[in-house]
Amino acid sequence: MNQRTNTLQISGRLPVIAIVGRPNVGKSTLFNRLLGKRKAIVGDRPGVTVDRLETECLIGARDVVLVDTGGIGEGTHDVMQPAIDTQVEAALAIADVVLFVVDGQAGSTPVDAAIASKLRRHQIPVLLVVNKAEKPNSEVEFFGLGMGDPVAVSAAHGQGIRDFTDQLEMLIPEVVEVADEEQQQPIASIAVIGRPNVGKSTLINAWLGKERMVVSDISGTTRDAIDSDLVYGNGFIRLVDTAGQRKHGRISDIIEFVARVKAVQAFRRADSIVMVLDGSEGVVEQDMRLMQLAQDEGCALIVAVNKLDLLTEDDWKHYVERLDFRMRGFTDIPVYRITAKSSKGVKRLLDEAVKAAERNRFELGTGELNRWLQSAQEAQHPPSDNGAVVKLKYASQIATSPPTIKIFCNRPKGLKVSYRRYLEQSFRKTFNLTGVPVRFNFAGGKNPYAPEHKR
């Protein structure tokens, strides 16, 4: 399967609305208000939104893509600010309409004036939104920005939102026609997980061929789960970058807590998971917990050990021994070596992640499934239940992602854990489901698929 490094243009499907403004003016609150649910992480400190956050939503009767961005222009000593500015420029490059959000309580600032100048250079339709405008006439002083008539709202309380959306809807251009290829479902949905600062965003950037994610050596740079579509063969795959995961006890504020919850939600949308480990560090318990969480959520799992340029061969051998020991409770999880910074090994890793997603969507015909069940019982009979014979009668696949098999049994409660584990290992080995969390449900009673015999 051939991979191309260009991404699908999201603005080619639906009109794009980008929300911009200096930090802490309420952009993410407005984003959530328009979306109707808590999609963006909202906090009371500057810099909470770093990456662009994109989602489809309805404005009036119009479907659009809404883009939340990091705050522009403040914190000149903040080493993250240049990266945030780059992300805003990238959002503006695909925007059809810009919502310029200012703070009605703080009043107009020199930074607001600088942003207005930046927006005028882009020549994109702009709607000036004065947020936190609970007091009357909060918008008056913002006429001086030269961005047209400001619209006063309170995103937190919903005040003025209806008039605002009416004006916004009038600015939205017509939907651009797209090729059938872009209307397809993704070939695979792949989430990238790991502890903070192990190289997750660097890996996704290497796959995309550009700096879609903010990359920094500051722990916790990525806080939201961000989707990117990557053209792959005759279709595309969806990549999800997740916030770096800390131990529960170290989640010190609501921002990190919500980020962890959103990462779990990302797992539930993914077919396969790439667990990124830092080869220059040891394997810790939190790594194992993340792997278990991924499989508990039904994702196929592969492991990528990053930063191998920092390891000697002896270091690598010691690392592998330690990793094998820590992963002894998992079944057949493949491990790959990469250096994301130089793109070494990342192409093969992407191909393997797509294959893992395909394995997770495995479907099996009823006849072949029951032939396997009979063969597995012949190879190893189920242990008796207090002297009573345990018989597995019939199997049917009831779900994919992960493959879920329902087995009808005469004594389901008497089926020992060791034999259930044997069936899982046999199934995975027989059908080459490396890294896939196969699930079995055991039910009592008669085989509902057996033909009824008339008396």
Q: What percent of the chain has pLDDT over 70?
A: 74
Same domain, 57 and 155: yes
Which residues make Cβ contacts (< 8 Å) with residue 430, sequence separation at least 6? Answer: 372
Query: What CATH number is associated with residue 414?
Result: 3.30.300.20
194 is in an annotated binding site: yes
Residue 250 has what pLDDT?
44
Residue 201 has what pLDDT?
81
pLDDT in tens, 156-165: 898 999 999 9
Range among 33-42, 168-177, 355-364 with highest mean pLDDT value: 355-364
133 is in an annotated binding site: yes
Q: Which residue has the tokens 């790959």?
A: 336
Rounded to an integer, the average pLDDT of 174-183 is 50
- Cα separation, 85 vs 435, whole angstroms: 39
378 is in an annotated binding site: no
What is the widest separation between alpha-carbon atoms in the chain? 91
- Report the candidate in 180, 217, 187, 188 with the shortest Cα–Cα distance to residue 202: 217
DSSP 344: B
364 is in an annotated binding site: no
242 is in an annotated binding site: yes
432 is in an annotated binding site: no
Same domain, 356 and 370: no
Mean per-residue pLDDT of the chain: 78
- Cα separation, 142 vs 150, whole angstroms: 7
317 is in an annotated binding site: no
441 is in an annotated binding site: no
The verdict on residue 283 lying in a domain is yes
298 is in an annotated binding site: no
- Cα separation, 264 vs 267, whole angstroms: 5
Task: Give the other-Cβ count within 10 Å of 139's Cβ.
Answer: 19
254 is in an annotated binding site: no
Residue 209 has what pLDDT?
81
pLDDT in tens, 222-252: 444 457 788 888 888 888 766 544 444 444 4
Q: What domain range is 75 assigned to?
A: 8-171
134 is in an annotated binding site: yes
306 is in an annotated binding site: yes
How many alpha carbons fall within 13 Å on the CB side of residue 257?
6
402 is in an annotated binding site: no
pTM of the model: 0.58
The verdict on residue 3 lying in a domain is no
146 is in an annotated binding site: no
The verdict on residue 228 lying in a domain is yes
Residue 44 has what pLDDT?
46
196 is in an annotated binding site: yes
287 is in an annotated binding site: no
How far is CA 323 from each of CA 27, 125, 147, 199, 397, rounded to the nearest angstrom?
43, 54, 57, 18, 33
The verdict on residue 178 lying in a domain is no
The verdict on residue 320 lying in a domain is yes
21 is in an annotated binding site: yes
- Report the candidate in 124, 67, 115 with the shortest Cα–Cα distance to residue 97: 124
The verdict on residue 319 lying in a domain is yes
How many alpha carbons fall within 13 Å on the CB side of residue 61?
2
Predicted confidence (pLDDT) at residue 364 exceeds the cutoff of 90: yes
Domain end (from 122, 143, 171): 171
Rounded to a whole number of angstroms, the distance between the first and last alpha carbons of the chain is 57
Range among 280-294, 304-318, 359-373 with highest mean pLDDT value: 359-373
**Backbone φ and ψ of 4, nearest 5°:** -110, 150
Same domain, 378 and 425: yes
245 is in an annotated binding site: yes
Residue 8 vs residue 127, higher pLDDT: 127
Same domain, 297 and 430: no
Total domains present in the chain? 3
127 is in an annotated binding site: no
Strand partners, 235: 232
383 is in an annotated binding site: no
Same domain, 243 and 331: yes
109 is in an annotated binding site: no
132 is in an annotated binding site: yes
Question: Which of the four pLDDT bands, split at 50, 70 and 90, describes residue 424?
Answer: very high
Domain end (from 334, 360, 386): 360
Domain end (from 308, 339, 360): 360
The verdict on residue 449 lying in a domain is no
How far is CA 401 from each of CA 50, 274, 436, 441, rounded to the nearest angstrom?
31, 15, 9, 15
Same domain, 295 and 276: yes
How far is CA 200 from each of CA 162, 191, 195, 206, 243, rounded to the nearest angstrom?
40, 10, 9, 10, 9
Residue 81 has what pLDDT?
52
**Backbone φ and ψ of 360, nearest 5°:** -70, -25
Q: Which residue has the tokens 């240049």?
A: 82
